[in-house]
Amino acid sequence: MAATGDTVGDLALVDWGLRQAKLGIDQIRPDGTLPLEMGRGARALHYHLFALTPLVMLAEIGRRHGVDLYAARDGALRRLAERALAGLDDPAWFADRVGAAQDAPGHLPPEDVAWMEPYHARFGDPGLEPWLDRLRPIRSARLGGDVTAQ
C-alpha cells in the first residue's frame, strides 16, 4: 500500500503503510529479534530475514516522506538487520534460543535477502558485501524484479 501510495502520490496510503511498519518495528526486542518469529523453531532465522524486506523497503519510503523508521525505537530496525546478518554467519545463536537447528541458509530465496540491497546502499554495511557478492543479482517478484543496486 505504501509503495502504491508513494508511486501515485496518495499520502493516505503512504501513511497507512508507515503505520504498519511502525507496528512491526515496535515488536523488535532489544536483542534484535521478533517474538513471533522466534516461535517458528527451525525457521526462526528464515522468518527474521523475510521480515526485513518489507520493513527496510518501508523505511526507504518513509525517508522520502520525512519519516526515519531506521531511527525508531533506538534503531530497532538496525538491530534486527544486525541480528539476522549475524544469524546468517552463524545460525547457532538462533538455534540455541529456539531449541532447534536452523534450516541451512545455503539457498536463500530472493524474498529473504532483497532487503540487503537498499540497506547496503543506505548504510554501506561491510558485513553484507560477501553475501551480496554471492547472491547478486537479487531479483524479487514481490518487489518488481531486479533490486540489485548498481
What are the boundaries of each domain within the chain?
Answer: 2-146
CA 15 – CA 1 distance, rounded (Å): 9
According to the model, what pLDDT value does residue 83 have?
A: 97
CA distance 18 to 102: 31
- CA angle (58, 60, 61) in 5-degree steps: 65
- For 14, the grid coordinates are 503512504
- In the chain (150 residues long), the average pLDDT of successive 10-residue segments reads 94 97 98 97 95 96 97 97 94 96 79 92 92 91 82
The pLDDT, as a whole number, for residue 39 is: 96
Integer Cα distance of 20 and 58 in angstroms: 9
What CATH code is assigned to 2-146? 1.50.10.100
pLDDT value of residue 149:
61
- Inter-residue contact 52 to 36 (CB < 8 Å): no
pLDDT for position 97: 97
Residues 79 and 32 sit within 8 Å (Cβ to Cβ): yes
Cα separation, 113 vs 129, whole angstroms? 12
- Residue 60 in contact with residue 81, Cβ under 8 Å? no
pLDDT at 110: 78
